[in-house]
Chain A
């Protein structure tokens, strides 16, 4: 090998390959609110539906089947649905069982994210928790129920914390990138678990040495069920542990010094260090807490309904990886993670065992889940930048005369909208939403606005945005969200609505001297680059 090709080889690397990502995520979080993740999910489902349609299936029946399979129809038990209530309830209990796990694996990704760390190792930490819970569950069979369960849960959470803590420790001491080390730890855990449960492994069952699987957890370590039969894999009390974990996550982040410091490090590690925060220690703590969540997930699964795990199960398990999509879709917040976990829980159960094979082939649907998961992660990766692009474009568009001089031609818009059966209006709808987004640095943007208008939300959203624009400038808003009611009346009402929007925007641009960089509220919302 040549020795002169890379003279910098012994210089320590830059500590932060992605210093700005958490910052940008934070900005996107403030700007997008709930709308962007919802749109992300809708887009992913639409794209998945297109694939389903393109391969000759009916996407509507497919999604309907998944919806039913997930047991969601039990929630909206509509009168004309004569399905037996029992199967729906059972499906929903199974969905919630998976939701339990997903909440915790999601939190395992979300927590370090707030510290500027990307934990891809949820799967490994989950498996470590699973293994330890199995060991405790099998080997401490003489213990009474409550201490036995608590010991299993505690030991698993601790083991998960230690496993993730390795990555945090390496990051803190040597600067090894947590993404690489958590990927490696994942695979060490995956093969390690296969060793432990496999033939001749220390945790293999004792009664059938030909089967590469663990022993069954003793009855005393089973978490009791509260919905459904414990014989039929009912929903256990672990569900409430997961809900409690959401609260704990929120409390730690928002009501403790640790949480404040973690968020400070995530926002800007250098500033945090300057402010006296021990950044390295935060890295270790954030990873350890994250691993505790994932380990807890493993324990609740093992003691809640799995009770036994085999080599093949280890190979097939993907639940820890789903935590990434859950956390990203949930914007790394407690409520968001809970909702996203519910969505993915339904998707995972509704596309596999819950799905009626006569409606849609579960082997196709299971892969559809992976596709939707991938698309959601992909789109979340992009919507952070969407804000970025809008910020950049706002300046460009202003200088390029995005807003026509002398206001927009309202009459022409209405006339052309009338003659094109509203098509031209859609373009102006897009422009209006885009303008509002460009001006306020928040909102759903052009495409999002049009999509939301299709389902009726947009017509209320746009006037409320425009109204806020006026209020933020200290002016009396001519319109508000209620103006959207005009659009309820077919056609003519829509034209009046459109006219009101365009006139209000004209008034705004006419009244405001447009220099975005000088406006204080824009400056404070500026995304750091």
Chain B
């Protein structure tokens, strides 16, 4: 633990934690230097940058920032490893895998995870474990496309998705808060129920036909001046509106949760509900609100799958575990907005690689899909700093 004194004396940009973050970024740069558009062909480039990353990490660990420090060390090692591997592959292969729209694709895959992880974070910060993210996301996916189809407008679709996700979150909240049932059980029940409800109504309302073509979908945002730039244009020039919304929600949720009285109340309910109750916070109301917001965020992620990136389609069990992936991202990000977002990007990157690597290695590609879960398992096991949930996470609160 860092001593309190150093907090007051050092500028934030030079604290061990921040240095470790620089190190983590350097690790990424080490890998990045070896892939397009830079494509360094000498293995020494990633090695040298990676060593800097590891050094930063080690320094941070020695100054007490253990979790982030070890993260930087791991990032440096990974950066060197992957970077050297990349310098060994032919640049033709690299060009097919690492193109500018890989970044766009990472953002596409990361967006449902971002929404889900932020949703899970809000709920768990208030003290309610939400393993029902998958189900709430699935509800958002189906009812979103249904609303867009019948309402004729993607915005209606989003509203319907929010309502559907919120409704299932309400069930979960009622069970978790009022009935004080086991939150894991009701969360899993939400998942099964959502799978059944969306599948049943998909079959009932659309039969053997698919969602009709031409459903209103969430538009892309072409940023004038950027969308025609080389490299940057294909990467971020023309992204779906919800991707930007997701990105904006990250600092927004950080601000609300950690910099406003409202956020303090939410976190108090997750850390010590009795104390929160004593100072006049309505624990039940706060938890209800948090869980419902959580369901709505997850549903937004689902809506992105069906009427955003999905282009107005739905298949049974469309989320395919993305809700659990989001849960993993939240845990890996240590119940923090930027951490969760970083994890979502990392997991999105590994999914994007899984979709691209089959070009020359199908088996390895599939394994990249498992990477997020392996990393999260390592994170909860505490090998590289322990993931620590809010203290009262998962504990029902009984008023006295």
The answer on a CB contact under 8 Å between B366 and A195 is yes
On chain B, the residues within 8 Å of A12 by CB distance are: 386
Residues on B with beta carbons closer than 8 Å to the beta carbon of A324: 188
Name which of A176-184, A274-282, A474-482 contacts chain B: A176-184
Rounded to whole angstroms, the CA-CA distance of A366 and B380 in the bound complex is 36
Indicate if the CB atoms of A385 and B366 lie closer than 8 Å: no
Cβ contacts A312-344/B at 8 Å (1 or 0 each): 000100000100110010000000000000000
A502 part of interface (Cβ distance < 8 Å) = no
CB-CB < 8 A to B265: which residues of A?
none
Q: Which listed residue, A3, A8, A51, A374, touches B15 by the CB 8 Å rule?
A: A3
Interface residues on B, range: 35 or more
B389: Cβ under 8 A from any A Cβ: yes
CA distance A361 to B201 in the complex (A): 13
Listed stretches B94-102, B235-243, B368-376; interface member: B368-376
Query: Across the interface, do B394 and A18 meet the contact criterion of CB distance under 8 Å?
Result: yes
| Interface presence of A306 (CB below 8 A) | no
Specify which of B171, B325, B327, B376 is in contact with A378 (CB 8 Å cutoff). Answer: B171
Annotate A1-31 by CB proximity to B: 1 below 8 A, 0 otherwise: 1111100111111100110010000000000
CB distance from B270 to the nearest CB of A (A): 11
Q: Which residues of B contact A366 (CB under 8 A)?
A: 199
**Choice from A2, A191, A325, A369 contacting B258 with Cβ under 8 Å:** A2
Interface residue SS majority, chain A: helix
**Complex interface: chain B residues within 8 A of A1 (CB):** 17, 21, 336, 338-339
Interface of chain B, main secondary structure? helix
A174 and B382 within 8 A (CB): yes
Interface stretch, picked from B36-44, B151-159, B189-197, is B189-197
Stretch in contact with the other chain, from A198-206, A234-242, A296-304, A439-447: A198-206
Residues of chain A with a CB closer than 8 A to B346's CB: none
CA distance A188 to B376 in the complex (A): 11
Known A2-B258, A371-B197; judge A381-B363 contact (CB<8 A).
no
Answer yes or no: B359 CB below 8 A from chain A CBs.
no
CA distance A311 to B192 in the complex (A): 22
Q: What CA separation (Å) do A363 and B363 show in the bound complex?
A: 32
Among B80-88, B177-185, B297-305, the stretch in contact with A: B177-185
**Pairwise interchain contact A10-B192, C-beta atoms closer than 8 A:** no
| Beta-carbon contact of B394 and A377 below 8 Å | no
For A191, give its contact among B189, B194, B367 (CB under 8 Å). Answer: B367
Contact B186 A378 (CB under 8 A): yes
CB-based contact B381/A174 at 8 Å:
yes
Question: A48 to nearest B CB, angstroms?
Answer: 8
Interface size class of A (residues with CB under 8 A): 35 or more
- Interface assignment of A364: CB less than 8 Å from any CB of chain B: yes
Most central of B12, B325, B382 by chain A CB within 10 Å: B382
Residues of A within 8 A of B208 (CB): 363
Contact residues of A with B, CB < 8 Å? 1-5, 8-14, 17-18, 21, 51, 55, 118, 120, 170, 174, 176-177, 179-181, 183-188, 190-192, 194-195, 198-202, 315, 321, 324-325, 328, 361, 363-364, 366-375, 377-378, 380-382, 384-385, 388-389, 529
Q: 17 new A-B pairs (CB below 8 Å) besides A192-B367, A367-B316?
A: A4-B7, A170-B377, A170-B380, A177-B380, A179-B184, A184-B374, A184-B377, A187-B373, A195-B363, A199-B362, A201-B366, A367-B197, A370-B196, A374-B195, A377-B185, A378-B171, A384-B182
Query: Could you write out 24 A-B pairs with CB less than 8 Å apart?
Result: A3-B15, A8-B391, A10-B1, A11-B388, A12-B386, A18-B182, A55-B204, A176-B381, A181-B380, A183-B327, A183-B328, A184-B328, A191-B367, A191-B370, A198-B363, A198-B366, A202-B363, A364-B203, A366-B199, A371-B196, A373-B192, A374-B195, A381-B185, A388-B180
